[in-house]
Structure 1
Amino acid sequence: MTSPASRDSQGTPSLPFTTAVDEKLSSGSAGKFGPDEENFKSMADDTMLIKGTPVIQSGADVSNFVVDDRDDGDPALTFRSFFLGTVIAGLGAALAQAGLAMIYIFKPTVVTVSGIFLLLILYTLGNAWALLLPQRHVFEARGWRRLAKVAHFVNPGTFGLKEHVAATIIASTASGASSAVNNFALFYDASVNATTAVLATFSTAVFGYGLVGLLRPLTVHPAEMVYWGQLPTVTVFQSLHWDMATTSKRIRMFWYSFTAMAIWEIFPAYIFPTLNGISIFCIASVHANPNTRTVFTNIFGGANGNEGLGLGSISLDWQYIGSTYLALPLLQQGNSWIGFIICYVAMAGIYYGNVWNAKNYPMLSTSIFTLNGTRYNQTFVFGPSFRLNETALQIEGLPQLAGPTVWTYMTACWSIGGLLAHCLLFWRGYARESFRLAKTGKQPDRHWVVSAMQKYREVPWWWYGLLLTLSFLAGLIVVLKGSTTLPVYGYIIALLLGSFIAPFSNLLVARLGNGIATNQLMKMVAGALHPGKPVSNLYFSMWSHDVVQTAVILAGDLKMGQYLKIPPRVLFSAQVWGTIVGAFVNYAVMASIVSSQRVTLLDPRGTNVWSGADVQSLNSAAVTWSLAGKIYGAHGHYIWVPIGLILGMIPTTIQYIIFKRWPVIAGVNVDSIILPVIYMYAGWMSSGVNSIILSTILTGIVSQVWVRRYHPGWYRKYIYVLGGAFDGGAQVMIFMLSFAAYGASGNPRPFPTWWGNPSGNADHCMEL
C-alpha cells in the first residue's frame, strides 16, 4: 500500500495529481509542476477556469489536469502479471459462455465491455497473491537464498499498478473474436474448423496491431488523441493504487458506487425488467385497441430487442447505458443528439410511409426476408458450396430488408463518405503536424515527453513490420485451406482497404471517443469483386472492417499505457500474448453459444436476454451485397445506399467552404458540426434495445453540460471514478447472473412473472 505522500521514481515526494493541481490553483503558485518541469500556469493559459478550477474541454486539458504523470518505476511484466492475465483471459472466455465480451455480441444491444470488470477481478487476485504466497524475506531469514530468489520471482511483493495494467491488457486483448467465423457457423449450417477460427482471429487482430504500431505518432502519442472511453479505467487504476488512505474520498466513492450498482443491477436485469424501459405511453395503452397498441409499440416501445424506437422511454439499466456517456466530450454527444432526432423522424416516416415496402416486414429487424415477409432461405439459395444458385434465386426471389435497416445502410455510407471528407479537409493540418513532431522526436502530450516515459526503450518499427508479415501469412493459410471462397487477390485487397481506412477511424475515435462503422463500405467492395459469394463477403469484411476495429481498440490500450507509463515493449508483449490466447479461447466460446442458443440467435427478434441482431446484420449485408448488381445496382431496389458514399462527402465539402469564409455563425463554430457523426446516429435505432436513448442523452447532459461546466473540480476528480465503479458493479453482476439465471452454466432460471416482469415485452407494450 502507498500513502498519498508516496515517492515518485526520482525519490522526491509527490502528491496525487488532483491534490497537487488543487493546491497550485488555490495558492496561485507559478512554481514547477510534475516531472516534466512544466510551469503549471502555462498549462492553464489556454484552459477555461471557473472559480480557479480548469474545465475539461480538450485533450490537452485531460493530459494536464485529469491524468497524473507520476511513475513509481515499479515492474510491469512479472510472472504474476503474466500468469494472472493469461488465466483470466482463458477463464473469462472459456467458462461455458461466460466471457462477457462474447456474451454481449449475442445480446439485444452490443455493449463494449468495460475494462473495469477484468480490472477488479485481477486486483482482487493480485492482492490475494501478494498476501498469501511467501515472499523473499521469509526464506532469507533462514538463509535459503536460492528459494528466496524463486519466491521473489513468484511473489515480488505488493501488487503494483503496472503489474495490474499488464495483466488487464493481456486479459482484455484476448476478448476479440472473428465476426466471419461467428456468421459462418450460425447461418450456413457449417462446422468451423478450429484451425480456421484461430488463425483468422489471430490474423485480423495482429494485423490491426501492426497498423496501430506504425501509426502511433499520429493516433496515440499526441495529447488530442484521448480515447475518452479509456479515462474511467485509467482513473480507477490510479485510484486503487495511489489513493488508498482510509479517508480517501475517491476510493470510498468507488467502492460504495460499485457495491450499490452491483445490487441495483439485479433489478432491471432480472427481477424488474420493466426498469429497462419505463414507457408511460406503453403502460397507458394496455387497454387500447390493437391498432393503437401496435403503433405505440413501434414508436414508444424499446425495452426488448427490435421492439420499437423507444421514444420517451427511460432506462435505469446501467449495463446498457454505461460510463461512455459520462466520458464522451460534449462535441461528440451534441452531434449525436442531432442524429437521434433525425433518426426518430426518418424511421417512423419510412415505416408508415411504406418506403421500400417497409410494412411487409417487422419495423425493426436486421434479418433478411422474402417479398411476402417470411424469413429468407439463404441456405437454399447459396447451397453447400456457398455460391449463388441462379435457379434457386429465381424460386426464392431477391432478399428484402426492413425499411429502417435500409435507411441505416444508407446513413452508414453517408458516414463513411463524410468521415473521409472531414479528415482530409478539417484535420489534414493536424495529421501533418503530428508526423512532423514525431520526426523531430517531440510530442505535445506531457505524458509522452516526460523523462519518466522517455527512459523506456521504444518498440522498434521492424517489430510491427514482423507482426504484419506473420498476420498476413496466417490469413493466407486460412484463405488457401479454409472454406472461405475468398481468392488470394480478394484477401490482399481487403487488407489494403482496411489499412487505408484505419487512420481515419482512429483519428475520429481518439478525438471524439466514438467511431464510424465502416462495414458497409467493405461489403460493398466485396460484393463488386466477388458477386454471388456471401461467405467470401464475410471474410473480406473481416480482413478489412475487423482490422480497422481491432486497430482502434488496441490504439486505446496503447494510449492507456502512455497515461500509466507502461514500458512500450512490455505493452507490446502483453497485447501480442493476449491476442494469441484469445484466438484459441474465443473459438470455444463461439462454438458453445452458437450451439446452445442457435434457435434464438436466428430469430428476427430474439429475446431481451439473447439476440442475434448484430450477427444477423453482418450476414444480411453480406448476402445482399453478394447480389449487389441486382439489389443495389442501377435498377436495384436499394440503389440509394451506395450513392450515399458520394452524398456523404458533398455536405462536408460545402461545410468546409463555409468554414473558411465564416468560421463562426451565430456563436457556433462551424467546424464543431461533425456531419459523419450525425449521419451515423441518424441510423442508430434499426435494431436492439432503444429504450436507453433518452437515458444516455440525460446522462450526457448531466455530466457534460452541468457537472463539467458548473462543478469542474468535482468532475475532474470524481466523474471517471464514478463511471468506472458503475460499469464494474453492473458487469460483475451480469457475469454472476449469466451463471445463476441466464443459462450460461446449464438451464436458465427465469424470475417469476409479475407486473414488473411481464411475460411479453418488458415495457408492457404489445408483443407483435
Structure 2
Amino acid sequence: MADEKRENDSLPSSEKDVKKAGTFDINSISTTQEINLNEKEYGEPRVKSDLPEVAGINPDDLEYILDKVNALSLEESLEIMRGILHEHSNDINFTASTYQRMEKLVEGPEAVGLSPADYEYEVKALSGICKFFSPYPEVRSVTTPYDDPSIPVETIRAYFLGFMWAVIGQYINSFFNSRFPKITLSSAVCQTLLYPCGKFLEKVLPDWGVSLFGVRYSLNPGPWNYKEQMFSTIIFNVALGSVYVFWNIQTQELYYQDTWLTPAYKILLILSTQFLGFGFVGILRRFVVYPVECYWPTLLPTLALNKALLVPEKKETLNGWKISRYSFFFIVFVGMFVYYWIPGYLFQALGYFSWMTWIAPDNFNLAAICGSQFGLGYNPLPSFDWNIISSNSPLTVPFYNTLTSYVSTFIGGFVILAIYYTNNNNTAYMPINSSALFTNKGTRYKVTNILTNGKLDEEKYKAYSPPFYSAANLVVYGAFFAAYPVTFLYVLLDQWKLVGKALFRVYKTFIDKLRQVCKHTASSFKALFSGNIKLFFSEFIKIFKDDASIYEGFDDPFTQMISKYPEVPDWWFYCLLLISLVFALVILGVYTELNTPKWTIFFVIGINFVFLIPMQIIQATTGATIGLNVLVELIVGYALPGNGEALMLIKAFGYNIDGQAANYISDQKMGHYAQIPPRAQFRGQVIATFITSFVAYSVVDWVDDNIKGICTPSAQNHFTCADGSQVYYSSSVLWGTIGPKRVFSQQYPILKYMFLFGFLLALACH
C-alpha cells in the first residue's frame, strides 16, 4: 500500500484522478478545459491548453494510455511526434487542427506559448495517444487499446447464431433483390437482434461441453460477451448481401430465355464468384488492414453498436429522460414497423411523394424535372418511405465524402437536363430517367429479336432497331468512364506513400520466400545425394514452411495485440483462389453455350490485380467505392463482340472479385479492431459464404418460377427488377450483344472522350 501511495504521489493530478475509479470522466472534459499538473513535480501549475485528442476517450482507456505516456521522456515523445507528422503528411483523415498543433509543438515551447511543464505534458499526451492507441478519434471512440485473450470467442453458440442470421439475411435480401425499391435486412438490424438471441442462449443452454487438444468447448461458456457478438457479426456480415450472380441467372432465364441452365451451372457459378475474391485477401490485407491510415470509416458504426450493446453504460438522466440505448432502439423499431404500413400499403403515394407534379399534372417539363418515377426527383420532400430515402449515412463516412456525393448528384441532374433538352443522341424521345433500353419506336428492347444461336444476327438487328439509352443512363456511364482514371491517378499521385510501403513489404516477403526455397531446396538435394534420407525430408518440408510474419513492419497497438493469435497463412487464401479458378474453368469448358474462351478468366483476375489495391485504399480511407463492372464491360465488349451472355459472365467475375474481396477484407479489419483471432474469422467467413451460396441458389430459382410477371412493369408487388436485372440486361445488350465499337462510333461517340476527361480532371485536382 505504501508503494502504491508513493507511485500515485509521483503522478500528475490528472492521472491520480483516473486512478480513483469512477471519479474522473474524461468525456466531460472540453477541448480547452484545464487539467492541472502536480506543482511539486513540475514547479508551477500548468496553464490552459487545447487537447482535442483527449475528448472521447473513456476513463479505462485513458488510464492505460497515461501509464504508457508517463514512461516516455520528452525527447522520445518529440521523436514519436515527428514520426507521426511524417507518416500522416498526406492523410486526409488526420485531424487538421491536431496536425497543425503538432507542427508547432515540435518547434519548441516558445512556438506555442506554453510553460516548460505545460509543453512537456501536451507533447507526451498527443504523441502517446496517437502512438499507443490511434491517431483517429473516430477509432478511439469505438475500440480499446488493450486486449484480453482469455475471453471466449469461437464458441458453439456464436457459430450457431452467426450462421442462423447469415441464412435469414441472405434469404430476405435475395428474395427482395428483384423488387424496386428493395427491402433489405441490414447488418445493424441483425446485430441488434443478435444480442437478445445471445442473452437467451446464455440463460437456457446448459454448461455441457467436450475437451479437444486441451481446450474445452461448452454450449454455455458464460455470459454472452463482446467478442462473441463481434465474431457472429463477422460471420453473417460477410454473407448477408444477395450474391451478385443472382442477376446473371435471372437475366439468362427471363430476358435471354435460356433453357440450358442446370442446377450444377448455377451452383458452380455462385461458388466460384463468391470465393474468387477471397483468394486476393492474402495479399490485400497488407495494404488495407494492417496500415493505420486505412481505418475504414464505414465499419465504425458496427463496432459502435456492438460496444453499446455489450459494454455497460452509465445510467444518466438527461432533460428528464432515463432510457437505455437498447430500449430506445426497440421503441423506435416498433414505431417504424407500424409506420411502414402507411407508405408501403395504405397510402403508397407517400412513397413517391411527387407533390410538386400534383400542382400541374399535365405539365410535362415539371414531371421531367420533379417527378419521382421517371423524372429527376428535384423535390425538397421526395418521399416518406425510408426504403427510398435511405443512402450512406452522413454519420458513417467522412463529411467531405457525403458533401461530394450530394453536390455531384445535384450537378449531375443539370447535365442530364442539358443532354435531354438538346436531344443529344435522341434522348428526348425516351423517359429522361430510366435504366431500361428502348427501340427507335420508344418500346422496351427485346434482345431475343436480334439473336440467332445466342449471337447477334446482323440482318435481324437492322430490321429491328439499335438500342437507345435514356439521358440519365448515358450520364451514369460517362461518369464511370471518367471515374476510373481519376481513381487510379488519385492513388498514384496522392497515396503513393501508402502504396509504396505495402509494395515494398510484398516485395520483401517474396524475396525472403525465394531465398528460403532456394536454401532448403539446395540442402534437401545435398542430403539426398549424400544418402541422408531423414535430412532430405526435413529440409524438403521446410521449403513450404513460412517463417516470416505478415505483421512484420507494422508496430501499431492493434497489430501488436492481434499478433498474439496464430495468423492465417497466405497459402490458405491461395487454395481458395485455386479452387474457385478451377470451378470457373469447368463452367467455361462444360457449358459451351456461353461461347466464352478460358483466357477471359485470367484477364479479369489480372485487371482486378491492377485496380484492386488502389480502389480498396480509397474505400479504406474515405468510405467511397467504385466497381470494375463498366470497365470490364468495355474491354470484353471489344474482345468478344456480339456475345451478351459472355459479357455478363466475365462482368460477374470482374466485378465480384473486387466486390467480394472488399467484403471479406473489411470484415478482416473489423476483426482486427475487435481483436478476433484471425483463423477464427477465416473459418467463420468461409463456412458462412459456402452455406449462404446454396440459400441464394434456392431463392433465385423460386422467385423466377413463382412470382407472376417478375421483371416486367406489371409485376406483382413492385418486383420489376428496375434496380437489378433490368440494368444488368440493358448493359449486356449494349456492351455485349451490340458491342462498344458500334456504340462508340455510331450511337454515343461522346463516351470515348470521358476517359481523357477523367485523366485531365485528376491531374487538375492534384
Deviation string, structure 1 residues 617-667 (Cα, Å, up to 9, x no partner) = 12211211122255324x3211222332222111211332xxxxxxxxxxx
| 1:468 aligns with one of 549, 557, 577 | 577
Post-superposition offset of 1:251 = 4.3
Q: TM-score, normalised by structure 2?
A: 0.73
- 1:324-348 Cα deviation digits (max 9, x unpaired): 2221111211221221122120112
Determine whether 1:403 maps to 2:471: yes
Alignment match of 1:539 (pick from 607, 624, 649) = 649
The code of the aligned residue for 1:284 comes to I
CA deviations on 1:344-379 (whole Å, 9 max, x unpaired) are 201122222211111222222212221111112211
Amino acid at match of 1:300: C
* Alpha-carbon distance between aligned partners in 1 of 2:332 and 2:500, rounded to the nearest angstrom: 43
CA distance in 2, matches of 1:279, 1:19: 49
Residue of structure 1 aligned with 2:697, choices 574, 587, 603: 587
With over 3 angstroms needed to count, the CA separation of the structure-2 counterparts of 1:150 and 1:490, relative to structure 1, is: closer
The yes-or-no answer on 1:62 pairing with 2:62 is no
**Once the two structures are superposed, what CA deviation does each residue of 1:222-245 show, in whole Å capped at 9, x if it has no partner?**
233232222221111111111256
Separation in structure 2 between the aligned mates of residue 15 and residue 202 of structure 1, nearest angstrom = 52
Unaligned runs of 5+ in 2: 1-17, 38-58, 71-76, 86-93, 99-121, 317-322, 509-550
Cα offsets for 1:522-567 (capped at 9, x unmatched) = 1001101111110000011011112111122222211111121111
Who is 2:548 aligned against? Answer: none
Matching residue of 1:118: 190
Aligned to 1:477: 586
The aligned counterpart of 1:193 is 262
Cα deviations across residues 453-490 of structure 1 (Å, max 9, x unaligned)? 22112111111111211111121112212343221011
Kept in 2, the 8 Å contact 1:279–1:312? The answer is no
Name the CA distance, whole Å, in 2 between partners of 1:47 and 1:643: 38
Correspondence for 2:629: 519
In the TM superposition, residue 33 of structure 1 has moved relative to its aligned partner by 3.7
Does the residue aligned with 2:435 lie in a helix, a strand or coil? coil
Distance 1:282 1:258, change over 3 A: same
Deviations 1:494-515 (A, max 9, x none): 2221222211221121111121
| In structure 2, C-alpha distance between the alignment counterparts of 1:29 and 1:539, rounded to whole Å | 66
Give the Cα–Cα distance (whole angstroms) in 2 for the partners of residues 485 and 370 of structure 1.
26
Q: 1:424 to 1:117 in 2, by over 3 A?
A: same
Partner of 1:652: 762
Change (3 A) 1:413 1:150: closer
Does residue 160 (structure 1) correspond to residue 160 (structure 2)? The answer is no
User: The residue matched to 2:357 in structure 1 has which SS?
Assistant: helix
The answer on whether the counterparts of 1:605 and 1:611 sit within 8 Å (CA) in structure 2 is no
Task: Give per-residue Cα distances to partners, 1:668-695, cap 9 Å, x unaligned.
Answer: xxxxxxxxxxxxxxxxxxxxxxxxxxxx
Residue type of the alignment partner of 2:576: L
Aligned AA for 1:157?
G
For these two proteins, the number of residue pairs brought into alignment is 617
Match of 1:76 in 2: 153
Q: How does 1:206-225 map to 2 (within 5 A)?
A: 206-225=275-294
- Between 398-407 and 20-29, the greater mean CA deviation after superposition: 20-29
Match of 2:297 among 225, 228, 234: 228
- Of 739, 758, 761 in structure 2, the residue corresponding to residue 628 of structure 1 is 739
Cα deviation, 1:151-204, whole Å, max 9, x if unaligned, reads 962222322222222223322322341142332223211353222222222222
Amino acid in structure 2 at the alignment position of 1:340: T
Q: Is the 8 A contact 2:169 2:185 kept in 1?
A: no
Residue 128, structure 1, aligned to residue 213, structure 2: no
Q: Write out per-residue CA displacement over residues 558-605 of structure 1, whole angstroms, 9 at most, x where no aligned residue.
A: 111112111111111111111111221101111222333462423399
Question: Structure 1 runs of 4+ off > 6 angstroms?
Answer: 12-16, 23-27, 29-32, 40-46, 437-440, 604-607
Instruction: Determine if contact 1:199/1:478 at 8 Å carries over to the other structure.
Output: yes
Matched, 1:340 2:409: yes
Deviations 1:6-28 (A, max 9, x none): xxxxxx99999x96555797674
Letter in 1 for 2:494: F
The CA distance in 2 between the partners of 1:15 and 1:252, in whole Å, is 27
Q: Take 2:139 and 2:342, find their aligned partners in 1: how far apart are those partners?
A: 38
Matched, 1:571 2:681: yes
Aligned-residue offset at 1:312: 2.8
Return the letter of the residue paired with 1:617.
V
Say whether residues 1:557 and 2:667 are aligned partners.
yes
Give the match for residue 328 of structure 1: 397
Name the structure 1 match of 2:111. Answer: none
Shift of 1:258: 4.0
**Which residue among 268, 274, 283 is the counterpart of 1:205?**
274
Which of 387, 401, 406 in structure 1 is aligned with 2:455?
Answer: 387
* 1:610–1:223 Cα change, 3 Å: farther
Q: 2:381 aligns with which of 306, 313, 325?
A: 313
The answer to whether the aligner puts 1:613 opposite 2:690 as a matched pair is: no
**Match of 1:284?**
359
Change (3 A) 1:463 1:83: same
Please say if 1:502 is aligned against 2:570: no
- SS state at 2:258 partner: coil
| Cα distance in 2, alignment partners of residues 336 and 356 from structure 1 | 27
Q: Work out whether residues 153 and 227 of structure 2, in 8 Å CA contact, stay in contact via their aligned partners in 1.
A: yes
Alignment-mate amino acid for residue 328 of structure 1: V
Cα RMSD for the two superposed structures: 3.7
Residue 369 of structure 1 corresponds to: 438
CA contact (8 A) 2:637 2:735 kept: yes
3-state SS in 1 of match to 2:152: coil
Of 166, 170, 184, which aligns to 1:89? Answer: 166
> Which residue does the alignment assign to 1:729?
none
- 1:378 aligns to what? 447
The 10-residue stretch of structure 1 (206-215 or 35-44) with the greater mean CA deviation from structure 2: 35-44
Distance 2:302 2:740 in 1: 46
Unaligned runs of 5+ in 1: 1-11, 140-144, 657-768
After superposition, the Cα gap between the structure-2 partners of 1:323 and 1:392, relative to the gap in structure 1 and judged at 3 Å, is closer
Separation of aligned partners in 2, 1:361 and 1:580: 43
Distance 1:83 1:65, change over 3 A: closer
Question: Aligned to 1:369, what secondary structure does the other structure show?
Answer: coil
> Shift of residue 381 of structure 1?
1.6
Rounded Cα–Cα distance in structure 2 between residues aligned with 1:500 and 1:249:
48
Q: Say if 1:93 and 1:589, in contact at 8 Å, map to a contact too.
A: no
Give, in whole Å, the separation in 1 of the partners of 2:19 and 2:342.
46
| Partner SS for 2:594 | coil
| CA distance in structure 2 between the aligned counterparts of 1:89 and 1:544, rounded to whole angstroms | 25
> Given the superposition, is the C-alpha separation of residues 253 and 632 from structure 1 closer, same or farther in structure 2, using an over 3 Å criterion?
same
Distance in structure 2 (CA, Å) of the matches to 1:611 and 1:307 = 18
Give the superposition deviation at 1:59. Answer: 7.1
Where 1:566 maps in the other structure, the secondary structure is: coil
